[in-house]
Amino acid sequence: MGRGASYLITGGAGFIGRHVAAELLRSGARVRVLDSLIEQVHGTDPELPGELSGADFVRADIRDIDAVKEALESVDGVFHLAAEVGVGQSMYEIDRYTSVNELGTAVLFQALTERPVKRVVTASSMSVYGEGLYQDASGNPVGDAVRGEGRDWDPVDAQGRPLTPVPTPETKAPDLASVYALNKYAQERMTHIVAKAYGMESVALRMFNVYGPGQALSNPYTGVLAIFASRLHNGQRPMVFEDGEQRRDFVHVEDIARAFRLAMETEGVSGRTINAGSGRSVSIAEVAREIAVAMGRPDLGPDIAGKARKGDVRHCFADISLARELLGFEPQRSFEDSLGELAEWVAQQECEDKVDEAASELQARGLVA
């Protein structure tokens, strides 16, 4: 598949979906988007993003099987991105997250049993790993690291010695620490199981921390970089949980969009689950400081909360060796060179800072310690 092929993108009006649509349209493909345009992401008066100007659009819920069947008409492949997103919120809106993410995926595949396509590429998440991979003092891999209690956030070995975080490969066993992680793992497995049973191909991409222009700045459960940018745009210090030294992998949305296209077009990768990240790590406190500088507010340093959210992990960043080997994927956008672009985009936006409200929700439910 490729030029001239026809694709459906569920959740295609969202931050990542719209960039996937743009990538596909540039490659000469035909694109149809199904999205419900929920208020938390798109606001009260949603408008279609410019990236979808060349795509067919269907406004519908992923759980509406009749709408999904209609959207699958004459489609060669499906990119499944429709989902409720957010580790913290998933821990207290359990029914909504599970309904959209798991039942929604089930509805899609129920429809696909009647209208199968060649390949389905499903958006998964690094959250399925829980803690990333570590090494002990002897250099042995530790795939089941457990965090300490209280403020002993860094995992240690059985003798109490510090463990060293290392890039996390797909071979690390899942460790589902949140409802969102559970949802995404269910999406992965359902994709591979049902696709194989009905003669379709399947790929799941485990995305790490995606950033770039177009994120929902007023959604306090979106990517951490967008949350920090929203706070700074409103003259507030970025709120950082724990001590800020937790490390993550930040990957530009344009690189992710290309990874999705490659996952659809590359032969010989059916049934695989593949990391999609930058292959680099950076501390959350460093992220907060660098975006503040890029936005011209170096005076607004990170507000270190000294508290941890239940469901969060200490360190997790990607080993992208498999993406390089199977997909020929190589990130092209560096974190340092992309912050200026993000800052310029944020400066042109209007956004409501709802971070304190979200933090209060977590605190009230005992989900921050």
In a domain, 64, yes or no: yes
Residue partners of 286: CB distance under 8 A and separation at least 6: 244
The residue among 234, 239, 244 whose CA lies nearest residue 314 is 244
Query: Looking at residue 247, which CATH number applies to its domain?
Result: 3.40.50.720
In a domain, 102, yes or no: yes
Predicted TM-score (pTM) of the model is 0.89
Strand bridging mode 303-304 / 250-252: unpaired
pLDDT tens digits in sequence order for the chain, 369 residues long: 767 899 999 999 999 999 999 999 999 999 999 999 987 777 767 778 788 889 999 999 999 999 999 999 999 999 999 999 888 889 989 999 999 999 999 999 999 999 999 999 999 999 999 999 999 999 999 999 988 776 788 999 888 888 999 999 999 999 998 999 999 999 999 999 999 999 999 999 999 999 888 776 655 556 677 788 888 888 889 889 899 999 999 999 999 999 999 999 999 999 999 999 999 999 999 989 988 998 899 999 999 988 887 767 899 999 999 999 999 999 999 888 888 887 787 777 665 655 555 556 555 655 555
Residue partners of 209: CB distance under 8 A and separation at least 6: 126, 223, 224, 225, 248, 249, 250, 251, 277
Looking at the structure of the chain, the number of domains it has is 1
Strand bridging mode 141-142 / 315-316: unpaired
Structural domain that includes position 154: 6-364
Spatial contact of 285 and 293, defined as CB atoms under 8 Å apart: no
| Model pLDDT, residue 361 | 56
In a domain, 277, yes or no: yes
Angle at CA of residue 190, ends 189 and 193, nearest 5°: 80
**Catalytic residue IDs:** 180
Report helix, strand or coil for 303. strand
Residue 199 burial (C-beta neighbours within 10 Å; 0-12, 13-18, 19+): exposed
| Model pLDDT, residue 152 | 80
Order across the sheet with 164-165: list the strands: 141-142, 134-135, 164-165
pLDDT tens across 126-166, in order? 999 999 999 999 999 999 998 877 678 899 988 888 899 99
Angle at CA of residue 292, ends 288 and 294, nearest 5°: 120
| Model pLDDT, residue 237 | 92
In a domain, 1, yes or no: no
pLDDT tens across 256-280, in order? 999 999 999 999 999 999 999 999 9
In a domain, 27, yes or no: yes
In a domain, 369, yes or no: no
Angle at CA of residue 36, ends 30 and 39, nearest 5°: 130
Distance of alpha carbon 163 from alpha carbon 130, whole angstroms? 15
Strand bridging mode 247-248 / 119-125: unpaired
Distance of alpha carbon 71 from alpha carbon 86, whole angstroms? 26
Taking each helix axis from N to C terminus, what angle separates 335-347 and 284-294, rounded to the nearest 10 degrees?
50
Spatial contact of 83 and 101, defined as CB atoms under 8 Å apart: yes
Radius of gyration for the chain, computed over Cα atoms and rounded to the nearest angstrom: 20
